[in-house]
Structure formats: C-alpha cells, structure tokens
Amino acid sequence: MGHYTLPDNLKNYRIHMIGIKGTGMAALTELLVSRGALVTGSDVPEEFYTDTILNAIGIRPMTPFSRDNLPRDTQLVIHSSAYSRKNNPELIAADERKLPVLEYTEALGLFSRTSKSTGISGVHGKTTTTAMAGTILKALKFPCSVLAGSAVSAFNDRSTMINGTRYFVAETCEYRRHFLHFSPEKIILTSIESDHQDYYPTYESIVSAFMQYINSLPQFGELIYCADDPGACEAARMVFASRPDIVYTPYGERASGDYRVTFKGIQKERQVFTLGGFSGQFRLSVPGRHNVLNAVASIALAVSLLKEEGHELTVHDISRIRSSLESFRGSRRRCEILGEARGVLFMDDYAHHPTAIRKTLAGLREFYPDRRLVVDFMSHTSSRTAALLKEFAKAFKDADELILHKIYPSARDDYSGDVTGETLFEETRKKHKRVKYFENVFDARDHLEKFLHRGDLFLTMGAGDNWQLGREIYKTWSGK
C-alpha cells in the first residue's frame, strides 16, 4: 500500500475494480459510488447475485479479464485477493502504467480513515453482528454506513447500508492479519480460538494478532468484548496491562454492568432475554444463544455511538432497538431459511468451525424442538479439518441425521497430510450413530429425497459448495 491515501473528496475520482462481483468488492464499490467516485470493474463471465446490485448503481462488469478493460483515465486500481499481480492481465497493465494498486483489505482500510470507524471482529459471529448493528443503526436513523460480509435482508438484500458518512461500521477479518489495515475507533470482539491453521499454526499466534488489532485503537478508544468467550477475555486482559486508557465494555452472561445477559427461554419462536442496564425484555427471531450475544454486542455499540453524538438514550430509542432486533431475519448463509416444501423446512448456514457448528445446531434444536434435524456438512480446508478433527467429530451431537462429504479445497491451503473427508467420517462415526458419507455432494440427493419427510428441518452447513444441494431439492420440491 505504501504511502497512498484516498483523496478527501472522491467526486469524479476514477477507480477500476478487478474481481468486482465478489461480495466485499461489490459492497466497497457501492460505498465508493455513494461518495461520488466513478467506478468501472471486471470479473469472470459467470453470473453472481451481486450482478443485480452492480447493475442497480449503473455498473456493468467487463468480462473476461483483459488489459483492454483498464480505462485510460484510471487513477486507482483495487483488486480482490483472488487475483495476482503476476498473472492477471489488468493488474499487469496497471503496474506497467505505474498506477496505484490496492488489495480489497488495503482499500477498505483506507476508506475507514475517512469516517469514525468501528471494526467488528472475532473468529465467529462477525457477519451476523455487523448485520444486527446495521439493522439497529438504520432503525435509529444514525448517520453511518455499514459493510457486512454477506447480503442482509434489512439492507434490501445487499451487504451495505448507506445512511451517512460521519460513521462507518464494517466486518473486519483476522485472516492474514487483514484487519490491521483497518483504522478503528471502536472494536467489537466476539470470540477468539484456534482457526486458519494455514496462517496461525498455534492458538497463541491468533491471540497475538487480535491483541495487535486491539492495540491499534486510539487513546480512549473502546473495546466491546464478549465476557463469555475465554479467548476474547484473555486478549482484553493482556492488552489492559499496557493500555488502561481503552474503554473496556464487556457483554454476556458473565459480564457485569449494563450488558449482563439473562436468558429467559424460547417463546413462540422468539429468544427472550434481559439486560442488566435496561428494563423489560428483548426478543430475537433467529435461533441460537450465540446470536443473543451478537445482538447484545450490537446494542452496546449503538448506545455507545449515540452517546458519542451527544444523544441521550430515550425510551423511544430503546423501543426502536427492540423492534429492529425482533424483526431481524439474518443474512445470506447465516441460518438462512430458503423456504418450506412438502413440509420440510430448508435452511443453509455458513458455520465451518466446530464451535460455530455446535452452537448453531444447539440453537436450532432449542428453537425447533419438534423437528427432526437433518444436516449435510462439507468441511473446508484440509489443514483446519486435520487440526480440529476431534472437535469436528463431537460437534454434531444435536443432529438427528448427518451427511458428510469430501473436504472442500482452498487454493490458500498448503497441506501435505493424509486427512480426508473419509477420515472425518470415520472419526465422527465413533461419536454419532446416524452418519453417512457421500464423496460428492450430489451423490446424496437420491438418499435425501427418499429420507426427508414432513416435519424435518434440512440444513446444509459449511463453507463448501454443498449449499447447492439444499437449494436444488427445495427448488424441485417447491416448483420455484
């Protein structure tokens, strides 16, 4: 990134986006266009859901990649990390012309400096927490823009909510320390545990990265952290030793103060909870106690931002927060309900770490006690599967029926061991009586179409491509 900075005024500033159809890239494009930038972009010919979003703001992605796609008057090039300056023709042309070139995370970091920014971080719950925070801030008509890592129903099925430039809230990713490009004045920290083993070989290495991120807060910056998560508490405790100037705001069942959570159970498919500093109850329409914690983090951020604006919290504000949370319907691939067909409820979820799997399934079991829970899971990256093999095997106890597949590969995964999808199946079979293995995703279709019956909940889960299976069966059965 060097010493490049975005101009204070982006009006008519010409930016070319390579890999513009990616969720994050398309969302950043929306934000740049909202600030007056003139954006062009390119990508592969395949159609993505983001094509509709880009078309709505007047952008037609150029395909395929070609050096001729790079406009002569381009002033900045931003590219997805999926494309390399060594072999992408447009990036090669940009370097030949000595144009400034930024990766997505670098560009997002520079964009964060143009507003009072909050970074949403953690191994689990980033996207949902960002979506909830944006939903609340939208209801409060707060002057901010929000960027989530997935399409959000409350954002009109986009990943962005644009309602002003003074404040910016964004999901920030720990992988390869990408979040260190971001310039936060506040951070939400949902969780820390071992993950991304291809980059963080030990738990200590990933904790260190989060501590570095927290330390990037300015004097009197704020850390809103989950008091129920051991990793988040450990990082907060260690940073406090050298940064007592930071405002530390805990939330959760083990927290003290305004954001101490008390669960009140499930009532009419709503999670009910109370908070230490607020009278009355809050209700959440999405399953899982972990999502209650995400909601509380979002409430804490919204209240903090209101106070920063000099706005005293009113009864009307609290009412808006309550209603926005109860109406929250999630985001794409986060307990996303596809619909119901032949009496079967079809759902899809991105959970790909044992902890996220366990918490998601426990939440669904509590939320839908009368439904048989049939789960199709595809593990993502061999290094993660190998490092957490025992944990994966124990994570599916709330599933009534489980289907596993081969491991979904990743270009970033440098793994030379012998753990495969079948290894995971054999290990899981020691813990779970009803588990089947189909090497390829659609090999399971015939079995599922005979096995699923009225009253079931069928969940595709993971960061692989098995989501296609649930959508295809639902599409066939529903006629949609």
pLDDT per position as a tens digit, 320-336: 999 999 999 876 677 78
* All domains of the chain in start order, with CATH: 14-107 (3.40.50.720), 115-327 (3.40.1190.10), 336-478 (3.90.190.20)
pLDDT tens-place string over residues 114-145: 999 999 999 989 999 999 999 999 999 999 99
First-to-last alpha carbon distance for the chain, in angstroms, is 46
pLDDT computed for residue 332 by the predictor: 67
pLDDT tens-place string over residues 431-470: 888 999 999 999 999 999 999 999 999 999 998 899 999 9
- Residues 108, 128, 82, CA angle at the centre, nearest 5°? 40
Give the β-pairing of 101-103 and 222-226. Answer: unpaired
Which two tokens mark 114?
A: 């143009």
Helix (H), strand (E) counts: the chain: 15, 20
Integer Cα distance of 346 and 292 in angstroms: 22
pLDDT computed for residue 409 by the predictor: 84
Whether residue 480 has pLDDT greater than 80: no
Amino acid at site 370: D
Q: Are 472 and 446 in contact (CB under 8 A)?
A: no
CB atoms under 10 Å from CB of 479, counted, come to 6
pTM as predicted: 0.82
CB atoms under 10 Å from CB of 71, counted, come to 13
DSSP 479: T
Q: What is the mean pLDDT of residues 76-101?
A: 95
Integer Cα distance of 241 and 248 in angstroms: 12
Torsion, Cα 261 266 270 275, to 10 degrees, reads: -10
Residue among 28, 388, 311, 327 nearest 154 (CA): 327
CB atoms under 10 Å from CB of 233, counted, come to 19
- Give me the percent of the chain exceeding a pLDDT of 70: 98
Q: Are 6 and 111 in contact (CB under 8 A)?
A: yes
pLDDT computed for residue 254 by the predictor: 97
The dihedral through the CA atoms of 371, 373, 374, 376 has a sign that is positive
121-137 burial: b if 16+ Cβ within 10 Å, else e:
bbbbbbbbbbbbbbbbb
